[in-house]
Each structure stands twice: as C-alpha cells, then as structure tokens.
Structure 1
Amino acid sequence: MSARGGSVPKKAGCLGSSQEAGCAQKTQAVIELRQQHSLATLLKIAKLSRSTFYYQAKIQQGSDKYAALKAQIREVYERHKGCYGYRRITAELHNAGSGVNHKTVQRLIQLLGLRSLVRPKKYRSYRGEINSNVPNVLDRQFRADQPNQKWVTDVTEFNVRGDKLYLSPIMDLYNGEIVAYETRRTPQLPLVSNMLKRALSKLGDRQKPLLHSDSNTVDARCC
C-alpha cells in the first residue's frame, strides 16, 4: 500500500494486525511514520480511529518528561527553517527562560531526527585583491636573528555562530610573539591600520622591521 505517492515502509506492517500490536504500539508506530506519510492513511492501515489515536498519543506524551521541551525545540528549528544547530537552539531556549543543558538539547535533536541545514565554515585566510606590484622581499626566509627584525601579517576570516569575523595580527618571526592584532566584522582599512599603529608604537627609534603579508591590497595600502 502507498501513502503520498510512496510505499509505506515495512515498519508499518504491524499496524494492520491487532494480534501483533495493541493500540499503544500502533499509536507509537503512527507517530514515528507521521512525518513521511499522511495521518489518514496510517490510521486506515492501523484500523485506529482518530479519537483512539489522540487518546493514546496523549497518554504517551504524558509519560515523556521531555515532551514539552521537544515541542519547543521543533518550534525553534522550524521557525529558523532548519538553519539552527543545537547550540543556537539552546541559546534560543535560554532566552525564553529555559535552563536546559546543551547536551540535553543535542540528544533530543538527534532523537527528533532534526539536522541543521547549514554547516559551519572553517576559517580561511581573507585574500582580498592581489596586488602583483608588491615584491616578495622576505622570499620565504622565515628565520630572524633578533626581535622586531621580521614581521608577518595576514587577514583571516572566521565564522562565529553564522557571523563573519576578521582577525588581523602581526607576528614577530624571532619568537612567534603576536606584536599586535585587531578584530572587526568587516575587512576594511581600519582592521589593518589600527593594528599597525599599535605595533609601530612598540618599536625603538632604530628598529625598522620588514613587514611581510600575502600582498593583498588591504595590507599593501598601509605599508
């Protein structure tokens, strides 16, 4: 037998036999299959009336201490069109006054079969526009004999809970120390210029380090 244009899975086989499954078992099977098939079709196969189904469902819901929380989780998930994972759903629940633990939310999401439709992106270096006129003076000579002799910098893009964040640090190749850094939500000139001002303020009168970047225009304009 088919439902909504597809075949009812083997799991529904017990629905039609009162000898193999009682009303409670049939109701549980209908609940599990309800997302894939119409309720009317499942009740017809199970030979359950709507009143019996809703009565049994209410009893089963009453025995589930997480029933209300599951409903909240599904509501948040559907309201955000499947874009929220367990962390952001937990944050939404906390904002609504719930003190539920994120591990509980994660477990219930798995039980409900909900999956975030958006995968978090790994961070990547922000390339900007490549300026081919800037020579590579460092030429992969990453060893420095003294502090503030060779600096390297780059702009890196991170994805923080769905929002972009840009990090611009300067590292001293002598000891790997971060001389200065700046973070902003957009890769604009102050991201690098503010970082450079802080780094240059730490130099002595005769210190003039070589500053190497990936030759993108964001850094090149400030050098």
Structure 2
Amino acid sequence: MEPALFLELVDLFKAKYSITMICECMGVPRSTYYRWCHKEIGMTELEKEILAICEQLKFRIGHRTVRGLLKNNGTKLNRKTVQRIMQKYNLQCRVKPKRAKKMAGESNLIVPNLLEQNFKSDAPNQKWVTDITYLPFGESMLYLSTILDLYNNEIIAYKVSDTQNAQLVLDTLEMACQKRHTAGTILHSDQGAQYTSRAFQLTTKENGIITSMSRKGNCFDNAVIESFHSSLKSEEFYTLERVRLTNAIVQQKTEDYMYYYNYIRPFQKLNCHSPIEYRTMAA
C-alpha cells in the first residue's frame, strides 16, 4: 500500500477508530505507520528519539519509563512533555488487565462435605442448606440468597439483593439465626467465595453452626436447594417470561412465592402438608 494513501485513510477514520485497529485491519505495522508519518509530516528530533525508544521496546512501556531512558541518554524533560508527545502519536503502552478483585473477606476457607448427599433430618435445625441464585427477570440482575431446613424443606431465611457479595449471605444467615436455635446445626453450601469468606465462617462459628461444603463443581451435593430455586423460577417467573417486570415486582413475587411455599404448597414427603403445617403438627 502507498504510504500517502494509507496516511490519508488513517486521517479519515482515526476519529472513529484507533490507529492500532486501523493498522491491524490493513495489515500495516504500527511502527511502519509512524515511520511514514515521520517522512510525510516531519518529526522533531525529540519526537524521533521517543518513537525509536517505543519501537525498540515494542510499545510496551509508558511515558515515565521513556522519560527515564531519555534522562539516561542525557535528555532531561518534564514527564508531561513526554506524555504529550506519546499521546500525539498514539505511542501509549499496552495496559495490563486488572486482576479481579477478591471479595471482601475472601480467604478460600474450604471445609469438608459433612452431608455427603444425606438430605434426611430427624428434627428441625439439624441440617440447613444454602445457596445463591440469579433472578434475571427485572430491569437488572438480582440475586436471591436462601437458607432451607432439610427437616421439612422450610425456607428459614432469604434475601434479594442487586449485589452478589459476602454481605448478602451474612444478612441471610443473621435472619436465620434470629429465628432459630443454631447450636450444633450443620449448614451446607457450595464453595462460592461468599461462603469461603472469613467473615461468613467466623459468623457461623460464633453462632455454634458447623459448616459443610459441596465438592467443587458437583451440584448434586446441594440438590435440595438447587431444586427449590428451580421450582421458584419455573412456578413463579417462567410463565411470565415475555412480560417485562420491574425489580420491585420481582422482589414482591419472590416474597409471595416464599409465603406460598412455606404455608400453602403441599409436599408428598410431608404427607401432603406444607412445611410450616408439618413442623407445627410435629411439635
């Protein structure tokens, strides 16, 4: 490709696309483009030196490093001058992708699987299971954290939030602990960051709760709570999949279903009683 034609093409599209993208699409190395710019428009000696440094190091360094190299070569410049020249010719270094931030309190505290898929319980508060599920039915993604008692499948506590973090599960746990006697209760979860967080593990210990975790990537180890979340979505939301809901409506429908599930919905394993009815009769 003729240099003059390519430079004209870049001038035409650089307001909409980056010079790097245009060069990649046309198969022209970025360094070649700047050499052509040098020949066509004329660079100062300083600009040539900065371009040469960037080309030599394959555009992997920032303006501070370039300034340091210039200083080593006897050229003392203000950092902002170097930065302005590099910006002028799009010589900025490649930005390293940021590592995902760890969730507050996360410390990867994995505990053994105490349930081992034994979901039978002889009395209330012996075995609880918990999990978080997505509620993608409103204006934005919402998250539901739930704690269920395996004795009668009763939902002890739940919370809907627009943030999937450790605080969500801590709030749910606090609600459950306020309602029930928790000394010696086994609380089973997956290995999500919320449950392996130090804050969660410490709170359970303070309430006398023994934590248990599924094997990594094995949803069957927490099948009961997985099944409940599936039932909530299929029975309450999937019949309305073409209806646009607000987040407030999603919240209200979740609350309505929780009441229905605990107080009205019959279970064959509970002799066709609802969870609350079954627990009340047993008491």
Normalising by structure 2, we get a TM-score of 0.31
Larger strand share, 1 or 2? 1
Larger helix share, 1 or 2? 2
Q: Could you say which structure has the greater relative contact order, defined with CA pairs below 8 angstroms and 6 or more residues apart?
A: 2
Normalising by structure 1, we get a TM-score of 0.39
